[in-house]
Structure 1
């Protein structure tokens, strides 16, 4: 094979692979945008069904891309949101599956998509019942939040969910510190709606804790 022919073949293969990579990125972009709309703008009565449908789509995408960390992180985020929305015993299934896929995402990417996997795991360990019902564990929750802070110390979500955990633990002074940091944090591109919603909640938390 001539050098020119070899180069043309390599270029063609590269062009052929590009749309495959772009396909999952576009699907994650769509999942993220719809999750933002459901969690910040949709009526409460419709959110559980909408998140359930979105979780099915995320599951199908994860089956196609089982070793793509970002896909798994978003599946975990959606499942965790579904668990929070349905509550009670109905939350255990999606919460356990969220933990599984997020831990797998971290195996593939130790930073867990810029800390997002750790924030979500922290919230899951904080809110889930403990053994033997589920996997809830306060110490593990705090380790997850601390790791997220190492990766993204300016994150609104990181500080808000850590503050919520600390407030539940009765550590109000430290909770107030992180709630204020959440108010001052940096909203992420593509996550402005959810981050700004958390900033407002952080402000409400500051008002409660400061009085």
Structure 2
């Protein structure tokens, strides 16, 4: 992004039973959103991503129309909006980021455990990447609090460790960041999320190389 950049956010693929269990059709729609998100983010040319993510938001909205209290779908709507903001760039993306924040907060209010605490991961990553007042709602202290809540739920997950590591390296806490990245790279594969896992591991490896350079 021009004024700020939103990193790619990915929710986790497995979770305890949510307070509002998805129907079979909802589960199918969730998997379709996850799969298409990974295809757009990791395979589509960069110039085509904003429009593609916009279409995927419409698909998420249609899924939510049938199950408006499904935290998993709310989380993924937030994820897609966030990555669309990253593809759009500039201050014009702030409206998308605010919509993403709203979706993630709704998911947390319904079931904080949904998708292994992914709403905490996604919302925390927004808080440290979005500008602070008066431009946006960014807040590093709130970001760390949320990311630690995500790790409390899923301490070995690839996403909470990756985003906590990115937060730590931005704060120049390089030794801690290295440890989190090593955990991210050691995370188990998520069934049905092969493309997303491959892309996230590549990002984690690239960040680890940067961190290692800072520690020399």
- TM-score norm. by structure 2 comes to 0.84
1:187, CA displacement in angstroms? 2.5
List alignment gaps of at least 5 residues for structure 2.
Answer: 1-21
- Partners in 2 of 1:27 and 1:150 — Cα distance? 28
Per the TM alignment, residue 21 of structure 1 is displaced from its structure 2 partner at its CA by 2.2
| Structure 2 residue 105 is the aligned partner of structure 1 residue 115 | no
Q: Deviations over 1:114-172 (max 9, x none)?
A: 12111111111111111121111101111111011111111111111111111111111
Secondary structure at 1:154 match in 2: coil
SS in structure 1 at match of 2:113: coil
**Which residue does the alignment assign to 2:86?**
84
Range moving further from structure 2, 95-104 or 106-115: 106-115
**SS in structure 2 opposite 1:114?**
helix
Deviations 1:169-208 (A, max 9, x none): 1111111111111111123222221122121221122222
Question: Which residue is equivalent to 2:136?
Answer: 134
CA distance in 1, matches of 2:35, 2:159: 17
CA distance in 2, matches of 1:146, 1:55: 28
- Paired positions, count: 192
Distance in 2 (alpha carbons) for counterparts of 1:208 and 1:26 = 38
Q: Distance in 2 between matches of 1:112 and 1:80?
A: 18
User: 1:51 pairs with 50, 53, 75, which one?
Assistant: 53
Tell which has more relative contact order, 1 or 2 (C-alpha 8 A, sep 6+). Answer: 2
Give runs of ≥4 in structure 1 deviating > 4 Å: none
Q: Which residue does the alignment assign to 1:144?
A: 146
Unaligned stretches of 5+ residues in structure 1: 1-19
The answer as to whether partners of 1:187 and 1:196 remain within 8 angstroms in 2 is no
Which has more radius of gyration?
Answer: 1
Contact 1:183-1:200 within 8 A present in 2 as well = no
CA distance, structure 2, for counterparts of residue 202 and residue 22 of structure 1 = 33
1:155 aligns with 2:157: yes
TM-score (structure 1 length as normaliser)? 0.86
Do 2:57 and 2:80's aligned partners in 1 also have CA atoms closer than 8 Å? yes
Alignment partner, residue 33 of structure 1: 35
**CA RMSD of superposed structures (Å):** 1.5
Q: Whose helix fraction is larger, Structure 1's or Structure 2's?
A: 1
